[in-house]
């Protein structure tokens, strides 16, 4: 599905120049997707930087939790408290307990 969006001629020309110079062979849709993804990453990094600066203790707790999750849940560690009606989650927690 496609649609038309209204932009000024100047914006269209800037976008065309960006595609020609930095993303030859890509479509406008592909380049806009890349730009949106880059924007999301930049905001996520800025949010993480702000969290780290404003709450050093919370940041350290986050890193410990992330490390724990990266290692995977061990049968020796308790599963997090979570209630779900999802049959797959219920089955997985019964197998891990």
pTM exceeds 0.75 for this model: no
For residue 27, the model assigns a pLDDT of 92
Domain map (residue ranges) of the chain: 9-70
Q: Residue 59: pLDDT above 60?
A: yes
pLDDT digits (tens, 9 = 90+) for 32-43: 999 999 999 999
Contact between 68 and 74 under an 8 Å Cβ cutoff? The reply is no
- Alpha-carbon Rg for the chain in angstroms: 22
Above 60 in pLDDT, residue 95?
no
DSSP for 13-51, please give it: HHHHHHHHHHSTT--HHHHHHHHHHHHHHHHHHHHHHHH
């Amino acid at each position: 599905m496609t649609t038309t969006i209204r932009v000024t001629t100047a914006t269209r020309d800037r976008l065309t120049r960006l595609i020609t110079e930095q993303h030859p062979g890509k479509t406008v849709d592909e380049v806009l997707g890349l730009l949106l993804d880059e924007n999301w990453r930049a905001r996520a990094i800025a949010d993480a930087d702000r969290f780290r600066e404003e709450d050093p203790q919370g940041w350290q707790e986050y890193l410990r939790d992330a490390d724990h999750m990266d290692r995977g849940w061990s049968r020796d560690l308790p599963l997090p408290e979570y209630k779900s009606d999802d049959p797959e989650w219920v089955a997985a927690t019964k197998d891990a307990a």
